[in-house]
Amino acid sequence: MHRQDLQTNSCTTDADTFNQPSDHTIEAAESKKIYRFPERLDKEHIKTLPLRAFDGKIHLITDIKDVNAAIKTLRQYPILGFDTETRPTFKKGVQHSVSLLQLSTPKEAYLFRLNHLGFPEELVLLLEDPGVLKVGVAILDDVRGLQKLSNFNAAGFVELADIASSLGIVTCGLRNLAAIFFGVRITKKAQLTNWERPVINSKQCLYAATDAWICLEMYHFLERENLLPENIIWHMPESHLKNSNMSSENNKQ
């Protein structure tokens, strides 16, 4: 089976679990709502929150012939949730390549198994397209990992951790942000599983889809509440750009 479509059902909470601003908050400012987010939430508190998971359709892409159709659908959306997964390393000095690239719309998540596909040009072009926003958390590590597969110029990325930091939040990991913004808990149980196994299971797929989708949901939440800064585009740090350019020049010689 080359392309696997997985219909998931959230066994957690309904969408109305997401926090909504109170009438008092709405009245607090006419042009921009005023929030007082906590700097972080205690891990024990987060454990008490209701679970939330992606409840749309998951497309697992393992065959190159399915990439074009997936990209065509994704390009119909101006904003996508973004994340990657890499096989965890338990030995010092051992590093693995990015195994999975996740891109999500509000209702569909596409999981590209790069360890099967390589890094298709259609995907590279999408990640280079400034006209399609790719929203994630800890983007630098994801982009660095992907650039080891192809030295592309990342464009149109939005770093939620930077936006959260500007709002006074100190712990800006994905799990903490989901708890702060929505009052929900997203599971991290599949994070350290083997993403290069021949067949990844439904729990891994749901975990991967949720991570990309929740980023998109957080972006839309911040947008609705007028909490996005004027300049939202993330740029690769200058030091890394120089290193990448030097590496590219050396490869040409």
Q: What is the pLDDT of residues 159-179, one digit of tens each?
A: 999 999 999 999 999 999 999
pLDDT at 243: 55
Low-confidence ranges of the chain (pLDDT < 50): 1, 8-17, 19, 21-31, 246-253
pLDDT at 88: 86
* Interatomic CA distance for residues 33 and 184, integer angstroms: 21
pLDDT at 1: 45
Cβ(54)–Cβ(15) under 8 Å?
A: no
* Interatomic CA distance for residues 222 and 229, integer angstroms: 9
Mapping DSSP to helix (H, G, I), strand (E, B) and coil, where does residue 191 land? coil
pLDDT at 191: 84
* Interatomic CA distance for residues 209 and 55, integer angstroms: 9
pLDDT at 230: 93
Please, what's the b/e burial string for 59-81 (b: 16 or more CB within 10 A of its CB; e: otherwise)?
bbbbeeebbeebbeebeebebbb
Please, what's the b/e burial string for 99-113 (b: 16 or more CB within 10 A of its CB; e: otherwise)?
bbbbbbbeebbbbbb
pTM (2 d.p.): 0.82
pLDDT at 4: 60
What's the alpha-carbon Rg for the chain, to the nearest Å? 19
Q: Determine phi and psi for 89, rounding to 5 degrees.
A: -110, 130
Mapping DSSP to helix (H, G, I), strand (E, B) and coil, where does residue 53 land? coil
Domains of the chain with bracketed CATH:
3-252 (3.30.420.10)
Q: Determine phi and psi for 110, rounding to 5 degrees.
A: -110, 120
Q: Given the DSSP bridges, would you call strands 157-159 and 133-136 parallel, antiparallel or unpaired?
A: parallel
Alpha helices of 33-173 — where are they, by DSSP H?
43-47, 67-74, 114-117, 121-128, 139-147, 160-166
Q: Determine phi and psi for 177, rounding to 5 degrees.
A: -65, -40
Mapping DSSP to helix (H, G, I), strand (E, B) and coil, where does residue 234 land? strand
* Interatomic CA distance for residues 75 and 87, integer angstroms: 28
Q: 């008092």: which residue's tokens?
A: 24
